[in-house]
Amino acid sequence: MVAGCTRGRQDTVDPLYQLLDSAQRDVEAARALRSSSGQVEDVITVRKAHIAALQAEIARQEKLWERPATSSSTATHTEGSLKKLRRHLTDASQEALSVVASNAGYRAGLAGSIAASCNALAKVVLS
């Protein structure tokens, strides 16, 4: 892509919606675990920052992508254990890495940052 040029409208759903949905579910799950561990406050703080950044980027390029057919999933993964939250954060890191591979520029950097921080949350904060 040449600097200053943008891709035309995509015929697919913006992949950032999947990352947004995952971050929202992580916040819900972490809130449910507040009484069992103080470590989840860091998860909530970081994943809320991810939500804000993803929403801003989705809004910035909303005319270039399709919206999901339905709103974000209302299903949660609030299983009630740090181990399961840690596993979901690891999965979220992998999801974000797949977005890195299929995007460029700021979007790839945003997804890469999310991947790294989810990995850190899972392997450092919740270990």
Identify whether 6 is part of a domain: no
Identify whether 118 is part of a domain: yes
Identify whether 38 is part of a domain: yes
Identify whether 2 is part of a domain: no
Identify whether 22 is part of a domain: yes
Q: What percent of the chain has pLDDT over 70?
A: 84
Identify whether 56 is part of a domain: yes
Residue 63 to residue 60: CA distance in whole angstroms? 8
Instruction: Answer yes or no: is pLDDT of 24 > 80.
Output: yes
Residue 85 to residue 30: CA distance in whole angstroms? 7
Average pLDDT over residues 32-61: 93
Q: Which residues span the domain enclosing 27? A: 16-69+78-125
| Overall number of domains in the chain | 1
- The overall average pLDDT reported for the chain is 86
Instruction: Answer yes or no: is pLDDT of 23 > 90.
Output: yes
| Per-residue pLDDT tens digits for 63-96 | 878 778 775 544 445 456 899 999 999 999 999 9
Instruction: Answer yes or no: is pLDDT of 2 > 60.
Output: no
In this prediction, residue 79 carries a pLDDT of 53
Q: What percent of the chain has pLDDT over 90?
A: 65
Identify whether 116 is part of a domain: yes
Range list of H helices, the chain = 16-32, 40-60, 82-101, 105-120
Identify whether 25 is part of a domain: yes
